[in-house]
A and B are shown apart, each in its own frame.
Chain A
């Protein structure tokens, strides 16, 4: 399968007036396959929005190249197959929802005969169909965010780039967005989005990239990101309530200890000698959240050293 998004050695140095220049991205290689959902995560200031803006053509890369469906980013042609939700956009506040959506449909090149139905369709997807006459300034923050999603969908683009699509949404609307994304994937649409909602990313993404201080620390599917955990979990009943140098968690009637894989034999021997009843032993599966903390933390230490 070909790539919807591709970047090679992407680098961005922001020139600043009062402070030294800031390296926001360094040697970023991205490959997003057509039809995939790609989740882009990383701490605040990692460079997610910078990457996305380079893809859209709002920010010029300092070096390297970025392609959308093989077209160099930054050209009108590269944006022909694109829907974009900006991070913190304010829309023309004196326009009505339906009017502004129509403007977007025209700019996106939607055929005149289809414009009305497309607008209607996009509004229905985000549940704003009864707000078509409302001025944008009179929408709530979450509604504005939903308008943003609607304008991104207006031309039924094969690629959606969403910068924190669930920010500012209530839990129900967040679920909505998640379902919208999954439904669009069902239609073969490629979705690239950044998010701080790690549980959502974990649930819906085919590929996940972890960005930190402008570098891609890890990139792969969920299994690849989580499996390199070198820890096991030993679950037992009875026996010692405390172990020297280890934390014993009480989970109901069970006691649980986490420890490096190579030390598990010794611990099991010790527990058996102490009269404990072994209930289970398994590779400790991390959540994406844990993996995220560990990966970004270790990288931080590496850089500080």
Chain B
């Protein structure tokens, strides 16, 4: 599903955010990207959805080389991705329903289809009773769930989440993780950037570790879950 070959990215001269990253993520995988703050996790995700361009290297998503893609094709790429942003990026003046329907509207779907899917997505995250609220009237955990519903509503090939449990309490984290597992079970490839060790411990999956822009580890669940000592 995702192939990354020897990718370099630097925002400024002589300070690289990513140095020589190569990773393959097969279809249906569930992957954590971890590492300390500033390791380059967010940057890697941004490269995947075309918000940044790499200085060197190739990136293939769903068989398409996005580093060579004309910028007019980028929107088409994004339509098969579901992205949960670190700062949610919900529209504060729109209702929950309008926020979640946004990606479908943009794809020009029929109204009745939009209503049905949005309701379904909100039900999945347990917010169908709050569809007329506005994001700022919701708790942090609820806002996160709206953001996830917006990512899920397009039934994405790849679900990308940047620090999805950043400021949430453990109980809410648990609920959120269930949502990602559900999406993965329905066929989405899931990519989560996090520095939350606790989360990785409770839901062991493949872990790709970055540090200072370099790949420093890539462990599959079997080796990871083996108790040490």
Mutual binders A and B:
no
Chain A interface (Cβ within 8 Å of chain B)?
none
Chain B interface (Cβ within 8 Å of chain A)?
none
